[in-house]
Amino acid sequence: MTEQLRLMAVHAHPDDESSKGAATMAKYVSEGVDVLVATCTGGERGSILNPKLQGDPYIEKNIHEVRAKEMAEARDILGVKQEWLGFVDSGLPEGDPLPPLPEGCFALQDVDEAAGRLVKLIREFRPHVVTTYDENGGYPHPDHIMTHKISMVAFEAAGDASRYPEAGEPWQPLKLYYNQGFNRPRTQALHEALLERGMESPYGEWLERWQSMGRERTLTTYVPCGDFFEIRDKALIAHATQIDPDGGWFRVPLDLQREIWPTEEYELAKSVVGTSLPEDDLFAGIRNN
């Protein structure tokens, strides 16, 4: 291809872009790829997970504004563009039975209607590749599952002139991927490497939970991006309300991560171009066409 490559990453909340595929995005930015993050909600109902900031009255009162500023900082660190789709965070319901979702929230929107906003953004940005979540949302947060739903509709509809005619000129993305950075092979490899070196592993409970889960996801694409793990972590730390810099996210030394597992993983869900699996590039089959 002679034109600039473009990648769109669709995420549910501010901070998701920094915890899922951030090193991949930073790598592609360094190579001249135009990268846009589409953030579905403002994270208004997200809990303050960093214990150092819990109880801060300003943050609690202005969480939407605070999270928007965190997103702006993370965006600058990663070097990406970013747009808000403007939906309202659904929150993560807890309890037994689970309480109903808040009226008007993202997860309660009509899927086809909500997908129209993403179709419009796809037609404006014209990405060659889109990344999103699988049907389980990566984990079963209602906003993550809804992000999957509208991404699938938008990928199919964006290139169809008969659908969403008010959303601009049609554009068909060529490939769609599910983020699968939290996968069992990676977790197992890092867990064993830590124990072999006499270090504590934060992954023991994760691996126990995986034993009771269903089928393993199919990892099709391994993007080498170890040189960008530090940028990923800086972007994640920018989301200060969500991330404790002394927490479990950062217990595995970067040098060990680069040695043992220097990639981020994806599952190819849809493609309108030919490619050979496994891949090491989200643009495989596109660059030379």
Give the tens place of pLDDT for each residue, 69-96: 999 999 999 999 999 999 999 998 888 8
CB atoms within 10 A of CB 119: 26
Place of tokens 């979702």: 101
Please say whether the beta carbons of 141 and 18 come within 8 A: no
pLDDT at 280 over 90: yes
Q: What is the pTM of this model?
A: 0.95
Write the burial class of residue 268 (CB in 10 Å: 0-12 exposed, 13-18 middle, 19+ buried): buried
Per-residue pLDDT, 46: 86
Residue-wise pLDDT for 190-224, tens only, equals 999 999 999 999 998 888 888 776 668 899 999 99
Task: List all residues 6 or more positions away from 241 whose beta carbon is below 8 Å from its beta carbon.
Answer: 46, 48, 49, 50, 53, 59, 63, 66, 67, 70
Per-residue pLDDT, 214: 60
Sheet of 6-11, strands arranged across: 81-87, 34-41, 6-11, 129-132, 175-179, 263-271, 221-224
Please say whether the beta carbons of 219 and 267 come within 8 A: yes
Residue-wise pLDDT for 227-251, tens only, equals 999 999 999 999 999 999 888 778 8
Report in angstroms the alpha-carbon separations of 14 from 71, 75, 159, 177, 203. 6, 10, 27, 20, 24
The predicted model gives 43-59 an average pLDDT of: 92
Residues 198, 280: Cα–Cα separation, whole Å: 32
pLDDT at 40 over 80: yes
- For residue 23, give both structure tokens: 């090193």
Angle value at C-alpha 116, between 110 and 120, nearest 5 degrees: 165
Residue-wise pLDDT for 95-136, tens only, equals 888 889 999 999 999 999 999 999 999 999 999 999 999 999
Task: List all residues 6 or more positions away from 268 whose beta carbon is below 8 Å from its beta carbon.
Answer: 175, 176, 177, 220, 221, 275, 277, 279
Residue 99: is the preceding peptide bond cis (ω within 30°)? no
Residue 102: is the preceding peptide bond cis (ω within 30°)? no
